[in-house]
Amino acid sequence: MMENIEGPFILVGLWHLIVPQAEPPAWFLPLASAWLVMSILITLGVLAGRRLQLKPAPLQNTVELALESLQGLSSQIAGPESARFLPLFATLFLFILCSNLMGLIPGFASPTTNVNINAAMAIIVALASIGLGIRHKGLGGFLKHLCGPPYWLAPLFITIRTLELVTRPLSLTMRLFGNMLAKEIMLGVLVYLITLFFFSSGIIFKVLMIVPLVLRPAIILLGVLVGFIQALVFTALSMSYIGEALHQH
């Protein structure tokens, strides 16, 4: 029952309209949610940039404010050289934020509750930082960085810094996944309790139904805050990794 009320029943219904004889596969819901978020962002980007004005409209003003804020944050964390990576940072932040907020809408689910979606973004960031490190420092300089200093502890530093490169995408993936999944579970549990108490016959259950009814708006507001923070954390860490690759120290 909880899945039918709080889950992505709109996307499930869309699948049944196309393929009525089969249940949607496991990959369909997160992938369809991700494509829906991308479609919304592309549409908003086209609308915001179609008619640029010196006195911006609300949509253009909102997009410019977001980009300027991300550019300022990028300059602080990764340095002024990171300005050319603003499209990557803006894409990550806006996609993650919209994905996180989508799970608060009944009938939809957050794509960021899927490990594969998060891992894809984390791997892109990790590979970009490694590639930039090799390009900026040279292969010899990159390998030298893995070895020290002090270089007489090279075996230890190689192990530690290799593990660091491996755990970065894992950390980005699991942090975002865990926080978003916890929010989805809490909302689902509250809906389940509301439904359970509503259809119960005892007066005590009718009274107890007030508790999840009061908690649900609070959890939704908390979900908005957590969704924004997690998008900002993921983007800020990506800036940090890119900035480390661009600088010698």
pLDDT in tens, 200-214: 877 887 788 888 888
Residue 67 CA to residue 218 CA, distance in Å, equals: 29
Cis peptide before 150 (omega within 30 of 0): yes
State which amino acid sits at residue 42: I
What DSSP state is assigned to residue 106? T
pLDDT in tens, 228-247: 999 999 999 999 999 888 87
Residue 173 CA to residue 117 CA, distance in Å, equals: 9
Q: Number of helices and strands (H, E) in the chain?
A: 9, 0
Our count of domains for the chain comes to 1
Residue 137 CA to residue 165 CA, distance in Å, equals: 16
Q: What is the mean pLDDT of residues 222-230?
A: 92
Is it the case that residue 2 has pLDDT exceeding 70? no
What DSSP state is assigned to residue 54? S
**Could you write out the three-class secondary structure of 31-90?**
HHHHHHHHHHHHHHHHHHHHCCCCCCCHHHHHHHHHHHHHHHHHHHHHCHHHHHHHHHHH
Is it the case that residue 150 has pLDDT exceeding 80? no
Closest Cα to residue 108, out of 176, 227, 13? 13
Q: Helix (H, G, I), strand (E, B), or coil: what is residue 108?
A: coil
Written as six digits, the tokens of 44 are 């908003």
Q: Which domain holds residue 134?
A: 2-246
Q: How confident is the model at residue 21 (pLDDT cuts 50, 70, 90)?
A: confident
Summary mean pLDDT of the chain: 85
